[in-house]
Amino acid sequence: MCNEQDDNCDTLVDEDDPAIDPNSLSTYYVDADDDGIGDSYAPFEACNLPATGYSTVDGDCDDSNALITGPSLWVNDADGDGWGAGAPISAVPSCTAPSPGAAPQPPTSDCDDNNPDRYPTNPEVCDDGLDQDCTGTDAPCTQPSCQDYLIASPGLPSGVYSVQPTVGGPVYNVYCDMTTDGGGWTLVMSSGGGTPPSDGSGPYHNDLTTLSPAAPHINAWDGMKPAVDPSHDIRFTCKQAAAGALVVDLSFHNVDWYDLITAGNEAASCFYTGGVVISPERRNNLTGTLLAAGNTYNSGSFEGEDSCSDSGDFTVDFDDRGMDSNQSDGTDWGSDDSLAKCGLSGVGNSWFIWVR
């Protein structure tokens, strides 16, 4: 059955086992254009919704065009860039264009239907005097954070960007995740080599540009503080193998944790709640599960370390306290009594922290 257990003792679990009960599987649909609606003719049976590329809803007329999720009205597209403007030229929604030079009615009209290089979601070229993405402004080449880049130019891809957290201050190259949980994440810790992380501030290093860090950098870079609000989002991810995929990916919304873990050295950065019950809004990005603020942890109280000066503890979990609780639920991140945790206790190769 789909229950993350080896029911028939053959060492295979869930859909990895050919003997799985087909009635236990759920049907998902390929969503090649990532518009939230899948292709009815491309079903996929699995226990859980894959992280990307699939949807629980089918009925997409054209799974190669994110603007078409079902029968659509159509408008004129004079410059042929796929984004139209003006009143609909079709009275009845359709999955196919009623005439050449038509585009599905977009959520936002093309701001310049005579220029194929200007339309909503088009990647912006910074400081070139043109507004490629129809936001009304030409984005500067250097922004304070990854979130600022994404606000200025929605649809930007993930990759390395130059950020300038302080006006007139140094410019740093960092990796930006522009898609997960709304995107706009700036990488502030990237540590490899199997050494678990610590809650303390550290200097900038070049591994903040990669998700394959070569060496341990156990502290979080505090350089993004000038660009981040006191109440911010923070994200914890990790890998069990250097070249592997993310095994844990947890977002926490509207917290002050980046400030807490970069308050100074490890002893000064107190990530300890002292029994105070806190229940922030949090999201498991690998499953899409969102828990609302006020949804208490299974143990009732989140705790990231045993005490403020405990050098062997720095951990989070999705739905139990983190410290000394369920060590096998697959969402543990960090270290507990100096024991690495990445999904499970005692394993891990690389750990990452993001902020926005």
Predicted confidence pLDDT, tens digits, the chain (356 residues): 999 999 999 999 998 899 999 999 999 999 999 989 999 999 999 999 887 899 999 999 899 888 888 898 999 999 999 999 999 998 899 988 999 999 999 989 999 999 999 999 898 888 889 999 998 988 778 999 999 999 988 999 999 999 999 988 999 999 999 999 999 999 999 999 999 999 999 999 999 999 999 899 999 999 999 999 999 999 999 999 999 999 999 999 999 999 999 999 988 899 988 778 889 999 999 999 999 999 989 877 888 998 888 889 999 999 988 787 788 889 999 999 999 999 999 999 999 999 99
Is 125 contained in some domain?
A: no
Pair (24, 167) in one structural domain: no
In terms of domains, do 164 and 261 share one?
yes
Let me know whether 186 and 88 are in one domain.
Answer: no
49 and 195 fall within a common domain: no
Same domain, 166 and 100: no
Q: Quick one: 176 and 302 in the same domain? A: yes
Number of domains in the chain: 3
247 and 157 in a common domain: yes
Structure tokens at 288: 């899409």
Provide the residue range defining the domain that includes 164: 146-355
Residues 204 and 221: beta-carbon distance below 8 Å = yes
Per the CB < 8 A criterion, the answer to whether 172 and 223 are in contact is yes
The predicted structure's pLDDT at residue 21: 94
* Residue 114 contacts residue 78 (beta carbons within 8 Å): yes
pTM of structure = 0.66
Pairing of strands 332-336, 339-345: antiparallel
Beta pairing partners, 55: 29
Length of the chain: 356
Strands 201-202 and 220-221, sheet pairing: parallel
pLDDT at 9: 95
List residues bridging with 75 in a β-sheet.
103
Residue 138 lies in a domain: no
pLDDT (0 to 100) of residue 51: 78
pLDDT of residue 302: 86
Contact between 75 and 102 (Cβ < 8 Å): yes
115 and 195 in a common domain: no
Residues 156 and 223 grouped into a single domain: yes
